[in-house]
Protein backbone atom coordinates (compact mmCIF):
# COMPACT_ATOMS: atom_id res chain seq x y z
CA UNK A 1 0.00 0.00 0.00
CA UNK A 2 1.31 3.39 -0.94
CA UNK A 3 0.94 6.06 1.68
CA UNK A 4 -0.81 9.32 0.87
CA UNK A 5 2.56 11.08 0.97
CA UNK A 6 3.97 8.59 -1.59
CA UNK A 7 1.01 9.22 -3.87
CA UNK A 8 1.44 13.00 -3.59
CA UNK A 9 5.17 12.76 -4.32
CA UNK A 10 4.49 10.62 -7.40
CA UNK A 11 1.88 13.10 -8.66
CA UNK A 12 4.22 16.07 -8.15
CA UNK A 13 7.08 14.36 -10.04
CA UNK A 14 4.80 13.28 -12.87
CA UNK A 15 3.54 16.83 -13.38
CA UNK A 16 7.04 18.29 -13.40
CA UNK A 17 8.42 19.81 -16.62
CA UNK A 18 11.50 21.73 -17.67
CA UNK A 19 11.97 24.48 -20.27
CA UNK A 20 14.79 26.94 -20.91
CA UNK A 21 16.71 25.76 -17.85
CA UNK A 22 13.71 26.25 -15.52
CA UNK A 23 11.75 23.45 -13.86
CA UNK A 24 8.16 23.83 -12.76
CA UNK A 25 4.99 21.86 -12.06
CA UNK A 26 1.84 21.75 -14.18
CA UNK A 27 -1.36 21.89 -12.10
CA UNK A 28 -2.77 19.16 -14.37
CA UNK A 29 -0.95 18.04 -17.53
CA UNK A 30 -4.09 17.56 -19.62
CA UNK A 31 -6.14 20.57 -18.69
CA UNK A 32 -3.62 23.10 -17.37
CA UNK A 33 -0.44 22.64 -19.42
CA UNK A 34 1.35 25.83 -18.26
CA UNK A 35 2.71 27.35 -15.06
CA UNK A 36 0.29 29.30 -12.83
CA UNK A 37 1.49 31.74 -10.21
CA UNK A 38 -0.44 30.90 -7.08
CA UNK A 39 -0.46 27.20 -7.99
CA UNK A 40 3.34 27.33 -8.00
CA UNK A 41 3.35 28.83 -4.52
CA UNK A 42 1.15 25.94 -3.37
CA UNK A 43 3.47 23.54 -5.21
CA UNK A 44 6.52 25.01 -3.47
CA UNK A 45 4.84 24.57 -0.09
CA UNK A 46 3.92 20.96 -0.96
CA UNK A 47 7.41 20.21 -2.34
CA UNK A 48 9.06 21.71 0.74
CA UNK A 49 7.71 18.69 2.65
CA UNK A 50 9.99 16.34 0.74
CA UNK A 51 12.39 18.26 -1.52
CA UNK A 52 13.34 21.80 -0.55
CA UNK A 53 15.67 22.35 -3.47
CA UNK A 54 12.93 21.48 -5.98
CA UNK A 55 10.59 23.81 -4.09
CA UNK A 56 13.11 26.62 -4.63
CA UNK A 57 13.31 25.84 -8.35
CA UNK A 58 9.52 25.96 -8.61
CA UNK A 59 9.56 29.54 -7.31
CA UNK A 60 12.57 30.53 -9.42
CA UNK A 61 10.56 29.53 -12.51
CA UNK A 62 7.32 31.17 -11.33
CA UNK A 63 9.14 34.44 -10.66
CA UNK A 64 11.21 34.47 -13.84
CA UNK A 65 8.98 36.58 -16.11
CA UNK A 66 7.82 39.73 -14.31
CA UNK A 67 5.76 42.26 -16.26
CA UNK A 68 7.25 45.70 -16.95
CA UNK A 69 5.84 47.13 -13.69
CA UNK A 70 7.41 44.30 -11.66
CA UNK A 71 4.10 42.50 -11.11
CA UNK A 72 4.26 38.74 -11.62
CA UNK A 73 1.93 37.34 -14.29
CA UNK A 74 -0.56 34.63 -13.44
CA UNK A 75 0.44 32.30 -16.31
CA UNK A 76 3.78 31.55 -17.95
CA UNK A 77 3.22 29.63 -21.20
CA UNK A 78 6.79 28.38 -21.42
CA UNK A 79 6.97 28.51 -25.18
CA UNK A 80 3.99 26.18 -25.63
CA UNK A 81 2.37 28.36 -28.26
CA UNK A 82 0.63 25.38 -29.77
CA UNK A 83 -0.75 24.33 -26.44
CA UNK A 84 -1.81 27.93 -25.75
CA UNK A 85 -3.58 28.21 -29.07
CA UNK A 86 -5.44 24.99 -28.52
CA UNK A 87 -6.14 25.57 -24.88
CA UNK A 88 -9.80 25.80 -24.02
CA UNK A 89 -11.98 27.22 -26.72
CA UNK A 90 -10.27 28.31 -29.86
CA UNK A 91 -11.00 31.95 -29.19
CA UNK A 92 -9.50 31.72 -25.74
CA UNK A 93 -6.25 30.41 -27.14
CA UNK A 94 -6.23 33.20 -29.67
CA UNK A 95 -6.80 35.81 -27.00
CA UNK A 96 -4.13 34.30 -24.83
CA UNK A 97 -1.51 34.48 -27.53
CA UNK A 98 -2.32 37.81 -29.06
CA UNK A 99 -4.22 40.02 -26.69
CA UNK A 100 -2.16 40.18 -23.51
CA UNK A 101 0.22 42.70 -25.04
CA UNK A 102 3.19 40.62 -23.85
CA UNK A 103 4.83 37.49 -25.17
CA UNK A 104 4.87 34.21 -23.31
CA UNK A 105 2.87 35.23 -20.24
CA UNK A 106 -0.47 36.68 -19.27
CA UNK A 107 -0.71 40.34 -18.22
CA UNK A 108 -2.75 39.92 -15.05
CA UNK A 109 -1.75 38.48 -11.69
CA UNK A 110 -3.10 36.18 -8.95
CA UNK A 111 -3.40 36.44 -5.14
CA UNK A 112 -0.02 37.68 -3.86
CA UNK A 113 0.99 34.74 -1.68
CA UNK A 114 4.57 34.67 -2.98
CA UNK A 115 6.37 36.19 0.03
CA UNK A 116 4.65 33.70 2.32
CA UNK A 117 5.76 30.82 0.05
CA UNK A 118 9.35 32.09 0.03
CA UNK A 119 9.33 32.40 3.81
CA UNK A 120 7.95 28.87 4.21
CA UNK A 121 10.75 27.48 2.03
CA UNK A 122 13.34 29.48 3.98
CA UNK A 123 12.04 28.06 7.27
CA UNK A 124 13.11 24.60 6.14
CA UNK A 125 16.80 25.26 5.78
CA UNK A 126 17.52 28.86 6.80
CA UNK A 127 19.14 29.53 3.41
CA UNK A 128 19.66 33.30 3.42
CA UNK A 129 21.18 33.25 -0.04
CA UNK A 130 17.81 32.04 -1.35
CA UNK A 131 16.07 34.95 0.39
CA UNK A 132 18.61 37.36 -1.09
CA UNK A 133 18.04 35.90 -4.54
CA UNK A 134 14.23 36.12 -4.31
CA UNK A 135 14.04 39.49 -2.56
CA UNK A 136 14.46 41.90 -5.52
CA UNK A 137 11.79 40.08 -7.52
CA UNK A 138 9.40 40.04 -4.59
CA UNK A 139 10.18 43.64 -3.78
CA UNK A 140 9.35 44.72 -7.35
CA UNK A 141 6.15 42.65 -7.29
CA UNK A 142 4.82 44.05 -4.01
CA UNK A 143 5.88 47.62 -4.79
CA UNK A 144 4.15 47.19 -8.17
CA UNK A 145 0.95 45.98 -6.51
CA UNK A 146 1.06 48.81 -3.97
CA UNK A 147 1.66 51.37 -6.70
CA UNK A 148 -0.75 50.14 -9.40
CA UNK A 149 -3.40 48.36 -7.40
CA UNK A 150 -3.78 50.02 -4.02
CA UNK A 151 -5.92 53.14 -3.74
CA UNK A 152 -4.44 56.00 -1.76
CA UNK A 153 -7.59 56.82 0.15
CA UNK A 154 -8.54 53.28 1.13
CA UNK A 155 -5.31 51.23 1.10
CA UNK A 156 -7.17 48.27 -0.40
CA UNK A 157 -5.85 46.39 -3.39
CA UNK A 158 -8.24 45.88 -6.28
CA UNK A 159 -8.34 43.16 -8.92
CA UNK A 160 -9.25 43.97 -12.53
CA UNK A 161 -10.49 40.57 -13.71
CA UNK A 162 -12.14 37.76 -11.70
CA UNK A 163 -9.27 35.50 -12.80
CA UNK A 164 -6.97 37.56 -10.59
CA UNK A 165 -8.83 36.24 -7.55
CA UNK A 166 -7.87 32.68 -8.55
CA UNK A 167 -11.62 31.95 -8.56
CA UNK A 168 -12.44 32.59 -12.20
CA UNK A 169 -16.25 32.36 -12.06
CA UNK A 170 -16.97 32.96 -8.38
CA UNK A 171 -20.47 34.39 -7.86
CA UNK A 172 -18.79 37.16 -5.86
CA UNK A 173 -18.27 38.85 -9.23
CA UNK A 174 -21.62 38.20 -10.93
CA UNK A 175 -23.04 41.70 -10.54
CA UNK A 176 -19.85 43.38 -11.79
CA UNK A 177 -19.77 40.93 -14.71
CA UNK A 178 -23.44 41.53 -15.53
CA UNK A 179 -24.29 37.84 -15.03
CA UNK A 180 -27.39 36.25 -13.44
CA UNK A 181 -27.07 33.75 -10.56
CA UNK A 182 -27.40 30.86 -13.01
CA UNK A 183 -25.42 31.09 -16.26
CA UNK A 184 -23.25 28.87 -18.41
CA UNK A 185 -19.46 28.49 -18.20
CA UNK A 186 -19.27 30.01 -21.68
CA UNK A 187 -21.12 33.13 -20.60
CA UNK A 188 -18.68 33.58 -17.74
CA UNK A 189 -15.71 33.04 -20.03
CA UNK A 190 -17.10 35.54 -22.54
CA UNK A 191 -17.29 38.24 -19.89
CA UNK A 192 -13.75 37.55 -18.76
CA UNK A 193 -12.58 37.77 -22.36
CA UNK A 194 -14.42 41.10 -22.65
CA UNK A 195 -12.29 42.33 -19.74
CA UNK A 196 -9.11 41.28 -21.55
CA UNK A 197 -10.16 43.15 -24.70
CA UNK A 198 -10.92 46.29 -22.70
CA UNK A 199 -7.60 45.95 -20.91
CA UNK A 200 -5.77 45.68 -24.21
CA UNK A 201 -7.33 49.03 -25.19
CA UNK A 202 -6.04 50.34 -21.86
CA UNK A 203 -2.60 48.99 -22.74
CA UNK A 204 -2.87 47.12 -19.46
CA UNK A 205 -2.67 50.28 -17.32
CA UNK A 206 -4.55 49.11 -14.23
CA UNK A 207 -4.89 52.13 -12.04
CA UNK A 208 -6.23 54.70 -14.45
CA UNK A 209 -7.85 52.59 -17.11
CA UNK A 210 -8.49 48.87 -16.49
CA UNK A 211 -10.09 49.76 -13.16
CA UNK A 212 -12.93 51.56 -14.94
CA UNK A 213 -14.27 48.24 -16.18
CA UNK A 214 -13.81 46.09 -13.13
CA UNK A 215 -12.26 46.99 -9.79
CA UNK A 216 -13.05 44.77 -6.84
CA UNK A 217 -11.29 44.90 -3.48
CA UNK A 218 -11.49 41.17 -3.00
CA UNK A 219 -11.21 39.66 0.45
CA UNK A 220 -8.75 36.77 -0.03
CA UNK A 221 -6.51 38.94 -2.22
CA UNK A 222 -6.27 41.63 0.46
CA UNK A 223 -5.88 39.23 3.37
CA UNK A 224 -3.11 37.41 1.51
CA UNK A 225 -1.55 40.77 0.58
CA UNK A 226 -1.36 42.14 4.10
CA UNK A 227 -0.03 38.88 5.44
CA UNK A 228 2.61 38.67 2.70
CA UNK A 229 3.63 42.31 3.25
CA UNK A 230 4.31 41.28 6.83
CA UNK A 231 6.57 38.49 5.53
CA UNK A 232 8.27 41.01 3.22
CA UNK A 233 9.05 43.08 6.27
CA UNK A 234 10.51 40.03 8.05
CA UNK A 235 12.61 39.09 5.03
CA UNK A 236 13.87 42.67 4.57
CA UNK A 237 14.77 42.90 8.22
CA UNK A 238 16.68 39.61 8.07
CA UNK A 239 18.58 40.94 5.08
CA UNK A 240 19.29 44.12 7.10
CA UNK A 241 17.29 46.32 4.75
CA UNK A 242 15.78 48.36 7.55
CA UNK A 243 14.06 51.02 5.42
CA UNK A 244 12.35 48.36 3.36
CA UNK A 245 11.41 46.45 6.49
CA UNK A 246 9.62 49.44 7.93
CA UNK A 247 8.00 50.34 4.59
CA UNK A 248 6.52 46.86 4.28
CA UNK A 249 5.48 46.77 7.95
CA UNK A 250 3.62 50.07 7.53
CA UNK A 251 1.92 49.04 4.31
CA UNK A 252 0.92 45.71 5.89
CA UNK A 253 -0.73 47.63 8.75
CA UNK A 254 -2.48 49.97 6.32
CA UNK A 255 -3.97 47.14 4.30
CA UNK A 256 -4.96 45.27 7.45
CA UNK A 257 -6.72 48.33 8.89
CA UNK A 258 -8.44 49.03 5.58
CA UNK A 259 -9.80 45.47 5.45
CA UNK A 260 -11.24 45.87 8.93
CA UNK A 261 -12.70 49.30 8.20
CA UNK A 262 -14.12 48.80 4.74
CA UNK A 263 -14.71 45.10 4.28
CA UNK A 264 -15.83 43.87 7.71
CA UNK A 265 -18.91 44.43 9.84
CA UNK A 266 -19.06 42.61 13.16
CA UNK A 267 -16.68 39.88 12.06
CA UNK A 268 -18.35 39.16 8.72
CA UNK A 269 -16.17 40.42 5.88
CA UNK A 270 -17.01 40.72 2.21
CA UNK A 271 -15.54 41.94 -1.05
CA UNK A 272 -16.17 45.55 -2.08
CA UNK A 273 -16.86 46.95 -5.54
CA UNK A 274 -14.89 50.16 -5.92
CA UNK A 275 -16.83 51.37 -8.95
CA UNK A 276 -20.26 51.25 -7.31
CA UNK A 277 -18.87 51.80 -3.77
CA UNK A 278 -20.90 48.83 -2.61
CA UNK A 279 -20.19 45.79 -0.57
CA UNK A 280 -20.69 42.48 -2.40
CA UNK A 281 -23.27 40.46 -0.50
CA UNK A 282 -22.77 37.00 -2.06
CA UNK A 283 -21.35 34.60 0.50
CA UNK A 284 -18.58 32.23 -0.57
CA UNK A 285 -15.84 30.36 1.32
CA UNK A 286 -13.89 33.66 1.26
CA UNK A 287 -15.86 34.70 4.35
CA UNK A 288 -13.41 32.47 6.32
CA UNK A 289 -10.22 34.13 5.08
CA UNK A 290 -10.12 36.59 8.02
CA UNK A 291 -9.43 33.54 10.22
CA UNK A 292 -6.32 32.79 8.17
CA UNK A 293 -5.23 36.43 8.50
CA UNK A 294 -6.01 36.59 12.24
CA UNK A 295 -8.27 39.60 11.69
CA UNK A 296 -11.09 38.69 14.05
CA UNK A 297 -11.56 38.82 17.81
CA UNK A 298 -12.03 35.45 19.57
CA UNK A 299 -15.77 36.11 19.83
CA UNK A 300 -16.12 37.06 16.18
CA UNK A 301 -14.18 33.98 15.14
CA UNK A 302 -16.37 31.72 17.26
CA UNK A 303 -19.52 33.21 15.76
CA UNK A 304 -18.15 32.83 12.25
CA UNK A 305 -17.33 29.16 12.85
CA UNK A 306 -20.60 28.34 14.63
CA UNK A 307 -23.02 30.33 12.49
CA UNK A 308 -21.44 29.89 9.07
CA UNK A 309 -18.89 27.10 8.82
CA UNK A 310 -20.72 24.57 11.00
CA UNK A 311 -24.15 25.44 9.61
CA UNK A 312 -25.72 22.56 7.60
CA UNK A 313 -27.60 25.16 5.57
CA UNK A 314 -24.49 27.11 4.61
CA UNK A 315 -21.06 25.43 4.56
CA UNK A 316 -21.16 22.20 6.58
CA UNK A 317 -21.86 19.81 3.73
CA UNK A 318 -21.05 16.09 3.76
CA UNK A 319 -17.62 17.06 2.37
CA UNK A 320 -16.76 20.62 3.39
CA UNK A 321 -16.02 23.30 2.33
CA UNK A 322 -18.28 24.20 -0.60
CA UNK A 323 -16.75 27.12 -2.48
CA UNK A 324 -20.08 28.95 -2.39
CA UNK A 325 -22.57 28.89 0.47
CA UNK A 326 -25.29 26.26 -0.09
CA UNK A 327 -27.79 29.01 0.74
CA UNK A 328 -26.87 31.11 -2.30
CA UNK A 329 -29.09 30.92 -5.39
CA UNK A 330 -25.89 30.53 -7.44
CA UNK A 331 -24.87 27.33 -5.56
CA UNK A 332 -24.21 24.55 -8.09
CA UNK A 333 -22.36 21.55 -6.56
CA UNK A 334 -21.49 19.75 -9.80
CA UNK A 335 -21.06 22.10 -12.74
CA UNK A 336 -20.45 25.26 -10.74
CA UNK A 337 -16.61 25.34 -10.78
CA UNK A 338 -16.10 28.04 -8.09
CA UNK A 339 -19.87 28.19 -7.46
CA UNK A 340 -20.18 25.16 -5.19
CA UNK A 341 -17.57 22.42 -5.60
CA UNK A 342 -14.85 21.95 -2.97
CA UNK A 343 -11.33 23.11 -3.90
CA UNK A 344 -8.31 22.02 -1.88
CA UNK A 345 -6.60 25.42 -1.52
CA UNK A 346 -9.60 26.94 0.29
CA UNK A 347 -9.66 23.90 2.58
CA UNK A 348 -5.99 24.51 3.34
CA UNK A 349 -6.49 28.25 4.02
CA UNK A 350 -9.43 27.58 6.30
CA UNK A 351 -7.59 24.75 8.08
CA UNK A 352 -4.73 27.16 8.83
CA UNK A 353 -7.19 29.82 10.04
CA UNK A 354 -8.99 27.39 12.34
CA UNK A 355 -5.69 26.25 13.87
CA UNK A 356 -4.66 29.84 14.38
CA UNK A 357 -7.74 30.42 16.55
CA UNK A 358 -7.51 27.08 18.36
CA UNK A 359 -10.49 25.37 16.68
CA UNK A 360 -8.41 22.21 16.52
CA UNK A 361 -11.32 19.76 16.34
CA UNK A 362 -13.02 21.49 13.43
CA UNK A 363 -9.65 21.80 11.68
CA UNK A 364 -9.00 18.08 12.21
CA UNK A 365 -12.41 17.20 10.75
CA UNK A 366 -11.69 19.31 7.67
CA UNK A 367 -8.33 17.63 7.26
CA UNK A 368 -9.89 14.16 7.61
CA UNK A 369 -12.64 14.98 5.10
CA UNK A 370 -10.01 16.34 2.71
CA UNK A 371 -8.08 13.07 2.96
CA UNK A 372 -11.37 11.18 2.47
CA UNK A 373 -12.01 13.09 -0.76
CA UNK A 374 -8.62 12.04 -2.13
CA UNK A 375 -9.14 8.43 -1.04
CA UNK A 376 -12.59 8.38 -2.59
CA UNK A 377 -12.02 10.26 -5.84
CA UNK A 378 -8.29 10.75 -6.35
CA UNK A 379 -6.45 13.99 -7.12
CA UNK A 380 -9.11 16.02 -8.83
CA UNK A 381 -9.50 19.74 -9.41
CA UNK A 382 -12.80 19.93 -7.55
CA UNK A 383 -15.19 17.68 -5.64
CA UNK A 384 -18.95 17.62 -5.19
CA UNK A 385 -19.46 18.80 -1.58
CA UNK A 386 -22.57 16.63 -1.24
CA UNK A 387 -21.24 13.30 -2.56
CA UNK A 388 -17.42 13.61 -2.74
CA UNK A 389 -17.46 12.82 -6.47
CA UNK A 390 -14.41 14.19 -8.35
CA UNK A 391 -14.96 16.95 -10.93
CA UNK A 392 -12.83 18.72 -13.55
CA UNK A 393 -9.11 18.22 -14.16
CA UNK A 394 -7.47 14.92 -13.24
CA UNK A 395 -4.04 14.52 -11.66
CA UNK A 396 -4.53 17.99 -10.20
CA UNK A 397 -1.89 19.03 -7.69
CA UNK A 398 -3.72 21.00 -5.03
CA UNK A 399 -4.65 17.90 -3.01
CA UNK A 400 -0.96 17.79 -2.08
CA UNK A 401 -1.65 20.68 0.31
CA UNK A 402 -2.99 18.11 2.73
CA UNK A 403 0.68 17.45 3.58
CA UNK A 404 0.77 21.00 4.92
CA UNK A 405 -2.32 20.61 7.12
CA UNK A 406 -0.35 20.18 10.31
C1 LIG B 1 -8.26 27.47 -12.59
C2 LIG B 1 -8.37 28.01 -11.16
C3 LIG B 1 -7.16 28.88 -10.83
C4 LIG B 1 -5.88 28.10 -11.09
C5 LIG B 1 -5.85 27.52 -12.50
C6 LIG B 1 -4.70 26.54 -12.70
O7 LIG B 1 -8.32 28.51 -13.52
O8 LIG B 1 -9.55 28.74 -11.02
O9 LIG B 1 -7.19 29.29 -9.49
O10 LIG B 1 -4.78 28.91 -10.87
O11 LIG B 1 -7.04 26.80 -12.74
O12 LIG B 1 -4.79 25.50 -11.77
Instruction: Give the pLDDT confidence score for residue 352 in this predicted structure.
Output: 98
Instruction: Give the pLDDT confidence score for residue 88 in this predicted structure.
Output: 55
Span of 78-87, 132-141, 321-330, 388-397 with lowest mean pLDDT = 78-87
Q: How far apart are CA 99 and CA 102, in angstroms?
A: 8
Give the strand pairing for 264-265 and 268-269.
Answer: antiparallel
Whole-number Å distance, alpha carbon 170 to ligand 1 midpoint, is: 12
Does residue 39's CB lie within 6 angstroms of at least one atom of ligand 1? yes
Q: How confident is the model at residue 102 (pLDDT cuts 50, 70, 90)?
A: confident
Span of 86-90, 92-96, 306-310 with lowest mean pLDDT = 86-90
Atom of ligand 1 nearest to the CA of 27: 12
Which of 209, 207, 216 is closest to 164 using CA atoms? 216
> Taking a C-beta distance cutoff of 8 angstroms, is the pair 168, 188 a contact?
yes
- Three-state secondary structure string covering 264-293: EECCEECCEECCCCEECCCCEHHHHHHHHC
Tell whether the model's pLDDT for residue 222 goes beyond 70. yes
Q: What is the mean pLDDT of residues 375-385?
A: 98
Does residue 320's CB lie within 6 angstroms of at least one atom of ligand 1? no
Q: How far apart are CA 242 and CA 222, in angstroms?
A: 24
Tell whether the model's pLDDT for residue 89 goes beyond 70. no
Tell whether the model's pLDDT for residue 363 goes beyond 70. yes
Instruction: Give the pLDDT confidence score for residue 189 in this predicted structure.
Output: 87
Q: Whose CA is nearest to atom 7 of ligand 1?
A: 168
Q: Is the pTM of this model over 0.95?
A: yes
Does residue 385's CB lie within 6 angstroms of at least one atom of ligand 1? no
Instruction: Give the pLDDT confidence score for residue 340 in this predicted structure.
Output: 98
Does residue 87's CB lie within 6 angstroms of at least one atom of ligand 1? no
Atom of ligand 1 nearest to the CA of 168: 8
Does residue 51's CB lie within 6 angstroms of at least one atom of ligand 1? no
Q: How confident is the model at residue 333 (pLDDT cuts 50, 70, 90)?
A: very high
User: Percent of the chain, pLDDT > 90?
Assistant: 86
Span of 44-53, 164-173, 193-202 with lowest mean pLDDT = 193-202
Tell whether the model's pLDDT for residue 163 goes beyond 80. yes
SS3 332: coil
SS3 167: coil
Instruction: Give the pLDDT confidence score for residue 97 in this predicted structure.
Output: 63
Whole-number Å distance, alpha carbon 250 to ligand 1 midpoint, is: 31
Amino acid sequence: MHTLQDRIETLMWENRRSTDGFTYTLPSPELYPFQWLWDSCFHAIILSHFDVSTAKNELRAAFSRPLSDGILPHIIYWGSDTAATNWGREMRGDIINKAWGVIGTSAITQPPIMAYAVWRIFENDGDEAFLREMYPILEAHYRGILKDRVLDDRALAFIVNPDESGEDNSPRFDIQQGLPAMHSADQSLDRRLDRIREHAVCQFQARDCMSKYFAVADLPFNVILFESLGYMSKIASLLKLEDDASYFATTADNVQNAIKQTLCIEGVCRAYDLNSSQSIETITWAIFMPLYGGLLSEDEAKRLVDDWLLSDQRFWSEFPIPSTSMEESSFDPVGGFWRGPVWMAPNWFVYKGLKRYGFDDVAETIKQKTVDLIELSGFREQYNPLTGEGIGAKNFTWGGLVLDME
